[in-house]
A and B are shown apart, each in its own frame.
Chain A
Amino acid sequence: MRAPVDKNNDLLLFAEGLPCTQAEQFRSECPPDKKTKAEDLFEFSRGRGDLHISIIVACLALFFFAMFFTQTGWDNRKLPNGFSSYLAHQFGFIDLDGKITRFGRILKQSWVAPMFCLTVLVPTALWNLRASCKEHFWRKRFLLPTKASFEVVKYIEAFEFVIYFIAYTMLVPIFGYLLATVLLGVFLPWRLGYRGRVWLLRSFSCSVAVVIVFRTLLQIKTPVSIWLYDLMPTPLRGFMLTYF
């Protein structure tokens, strides 16, 4: 039912004839007009936490660069004497006398590919850090949120599921695929809030279906010895090891 219109409000020009209440005055069914562009597909904006991750990535790139000299066979490099004149000869700028090392012999050495890789990685990581810093200070200047605490909370939340994953990995050699999968397949949705009887049944069915498809039908590899199956009588053990 429509609420009575406040006639004292001098903002209302046509108070008597308004088709809606005061609270509804600014609601519109029309979406804001927007020119749709295909370029929108490539839109990207740096959010919170970008700077911190960019710093970590840049540090990692620099770490690998520092390790390049000890971890790629750089110590055992075989380069011709007078490397600069050799390079000039390679590109046809000067002629050298005598026996000349084949360029392929240099390319074959183990440090060459990492060097090319780091040539891409290190400058781009630093360039990305610079861009991230600029964005961070821009956000700060316009009082936009910059704290990464929200993202950190999400990272910690995700870590809980990582622990479940590792636990699952440890449970399979003990209980076998079937039981371990059913345990995690029911527990995980329960932990996520799907606690009704129907959801538990759905989780259970999905877990069993996964085991039947992958282990029973596709016969994926299973550990040779499973603690629970080893306790079973030999014929049952063989059956469980073959199909579950």
Chain B
Amino acid sequence: MDAFLLGLESLLQPTVLLAIVIGSVGGVVIGAIPGIGPAIAIAILLPATVFLDDLVSLVLLLGIYGSSMYGGAIPAILINTPGTPVNALTTYDGYAMTRRGAPSRALSLAYSASFFGGCFSIAAALIALFAFGPYLRDLGALFGQRDILMAAILGAVLLIAAHRKTMVIAAMLFGFGFLIAMIGRQTTRKIDRFTFDIEYLYSGFNLIVVIVGIFALSQALNLMVGKDDDPPEARVSGGLFTGFRDLISNKLITVISACYGTVMGIIPGVGEFVAQFFSYSTARAISKDPARFGHGSPEGLLASETSNNAVPAAAMIPLLALGVPGEALTAMMMVVFFDAGIKPGPDIFDTNPDFLFSLFSALFLVNIFVLITLLFSTKFIAKMIYIPNRFLGAMIMILSFIGVYSIRNSFIDCIFAVIFGYIGFILRRLDWPLVPIVLGLVLGSIILERLTAGAGQIKTALDLINRPVSGTLFVVILMVMGFIIWTSIRNRRKHFQ
């Protein structure tokens, strides 16, 4: 309880509250503009967080992460264009409702579903912290270097498994990310890895340079090379308060979807898409009117939006508990932890419990603030949809430059950022996923660090898996890999039949 009160106290600082407001509003606006998305916004803001307090930085990034999907629903519902990629499923039923002449009901439903999903997973995390807090402190003793190493490997395997149709490409790009993480001089033995005698590479690539290049600059190039969209006129009329009534009348679907979002968020590498997939499919299976799914079903919209927004709070759990980020946005937040010198992991329950409570309470405030903002300013935010893509691209490019250059005023940093941006641009055009590169980079760094630190305790190869946690994780890794192989063989057989 003391930790909770301490956490609240640090949350009530004016700078932190300001970060919540800026993060929430900024996230909604960024989400509402098709073509930007939270990953790009966070990538651009990452360098600036170096100049801010740790809690302020994290709350700002969390605000963007937690609120962008609310904003992403607006263009998805009004003009059939998802604001963020995870709102793609919202277009199926949301836009159909708009065509039927019920845009306000669709928006209201999306907001209330998102709010419920967000609060559900935050409540689950806070209850877990309260109920298991005393036991979580002992968890630190169970998690050694080898256990975290296995957790990172499991994260990588799950990430690859989650890319259902592009598994080989995801594995390949994860390998490239890992390779980039490896470049540099090994500090303990002074041996260079893939540096090719280039002085800049001795210290390895700066994570922020790569992330800004891969996410922000690549999208800037993509937007500038493309054409401006001509979105149809979006009109919002009528009240936005009816959604809660729909939510209550579909409580079973709502709760199931929130559970899916929470569980999938906790599992590293899985995230919003798989959560949506399961919740949408389940909602259709238990619905009395499954034929309406995809043609303006409120249940479908409810399922996708609830599960989406339940993910951010849940995704923080593996990051904070194990120090293993599950997807790109939490991987970027890991960079803030690196910079702040905070080591997320099981020890954090013992050393910084108030910090955990602050983060989750901040996310709760973000949800409340976003809901209030949206209920009263949707008409204004909907106008953001009409900012031309190419103009946005130019502005993103400028922001990316400022982000990279401000790290250490290095010309070479900018050159490498632009190289990574160009690579990202090509990958975007091919529709190859970018997330595995960033997770390869972050998880690769964790794997390298834990492998070196834990090597002293490894007498034989079996020592890697003879601890309760590492052994269990190893079994899970084998099961996931077995499942991947089994599904590939099954699909192949189906293809030839």
Residues of A within 8 A of B (CB): 34-39, 41-47, 49-50, 53, 57, 61, 64, 67, 71-73, 76, 87, 89-92, 102-105, 107-110, 112-114, 117-118, 120-121, 124-125, 127-128, 131, 151, 154-155, 157-159, 161-162, 164-166, 168-170, 172-173, 177, 181, 184-185, 188-189, 192-194, 199, 202-203, 206-207, 210, 214-215, 218-223
Contacts of B52 in A (CB 8 A): 218
Q: Which residues of B from 167 to 196 have beta carbons under 8 Å from A?
A: 168-169, 171-172, 174-176, 178-179, 182, 186, 188-189, 191-196
A57: chain B residues at CB < 8 Å are 172, 176
Q: Within the complex, what minimum Cβ distance (angstroms) separates A222 from chain B?
A: 7
Given contacts A90-B461, A158-B221, A214-B48, contact A194 B391 (CB under 8 A): yes
Query: Is B455's CB under 8 angstroms from A105's CB?
Result: yes
B100 contacts the other chain (CB 8 A): no
Interface contact A36-B294, CB-CB below 8 Å: yes
Question: Given A71, A108, A170, A223, which contacts B196 in the complex, CB threshold below 8 Å?
Answer: A71
Contact with A along B266-308 (1 / 0, CB 8 A): 0000000100110011000000000001110000100000000
Residue of B nearest to A172 (CB): B405
Contact B171 A124, beta carbon cutoff 8 Å: yes
Q: Which residues does chain A contribute within 8 Å of B1, judged by CB atoms?
A: none
Q: Which of B334-342, B362-370, B423-431, B477-485 contacts A (4 or more CB under 8 A)?
A: B423-431
Among residues 373 to 421 in chain B, which have CB atoms less than 8 Å away from a CB atom of chain A?
388, 390-391, 393-395, 397-399, 401-402, 405-409, 411, 414-415, 418, 421
**Would you call A64 and B193 a contact (CB within 8 A)?**
no
**Using a Cβ cutoff of 8 Å, how many contacts connect chains A and B?**
229
Q: Which of B295, B402, B425 contacts A158 (CB 8 A)?
A: B425
Chain B 215-227: CB-based contact to A (< 8 A → 1; otherwise 0): 0010011101100
Q: In whole Å, how far is B421's beta carbon from the nearest beta carbon of chain A?
A: 8
Kindly identify which residue among B191, B281, B430 contacts A38, using a CB–CB cutoff of 8 Å: B281
The SS class assigned to the B binding surface is helix
Decide yes or no whether B129 CB sits under 8 A from chain A.
no
Task: Give chain A residues whose Cβ lies under 8 Å from the Cβ of B176.
Answer: 57, 121
Nearest A residue to B452, CB-CB: A108
Distance in angstroms between the alpha carbons of A71 and B182 in the assembled complex: 11
Asked if B172 and A90 sit within 8 Å, CB to CB, the answer is no
Q: Which of A91, A158, A172, A220 contacts B461 (CB 8 A)?
A: A91
Q: How far is the CA of A165 from the CA of B422 in the complex (A)?
A: 12
Measured CB to CB, the residues of B under 8 A from A are 47-48, 51-52, 88-89, 92, 163-166, 168-169, 171-172, 174-176, 178-179, 182, 186, 188-189, 191-196, 217, 220-222, 224-225, 273, 276-277, 280-281, 293-295, 300, 388, 390-391, 393-395, 397-399, 401-402, 405-409, 411, 414-415, 418, 421-422, 425-426, 429-431, 444, 447-448, 451-452, 454-463
Question: Which of A34, A113, A128, A157 gathers most chain B CB within 10 Å?
Answer: A113
Count chain B CB atoms within 10 A of each CB in A46, A87, A108 and give the residue with the most. A108
Q: Is the CB of B273 within 8 A of A121?
A: no
A177: B residues at CB distance < 8 A: 402
- Other-chain contact of B179, A64, A165, A218 (Cβ < 8 Å): A64
- Given A46-B430, A102-B458, A104-B454, 5 further pairs, Cβ under 8 A: A107-B451, A165-B397, A169-B401, A214-B406, A221-B406
Which of A49, A105, A161, A207 meets B429, CB within 8 Å? Answer: A49
The answer to whether B456 touches A104, judged by C-beta atoms less than 8 angstroms apart, is yes
Q: List 25 A-B contacts (CB under 8 A).
A: A35-B294, A36-B293, A39-B277, A46-B430, A47-B431, A61-B172, A71-B195, A73-B192, A90-B460, A91-B461, A103-B461, A104-B463, A107-B458, A112-B451, A113-B182, A118-B179, A158-B221, A158-B422, A159-B422, A161-B225, A165-B217, A199-B391, A219-B51, A220-B51, A223-B409
- Output the nearest chain B residue to A193 by Cβ-Cβ distance: B390
Q: Assess the B295–A36 pair: CB atoms within 8 A.
A: yes
- List the B residue with the shortest CB-CB distance to A213: B48
Least CB distance from A88 to B in Å reads 11
**Which residues of chain A come closer than 8 Å to B408, judged between CB atoms?**
221
Contacts of B454 in A (CB 8 A): 104
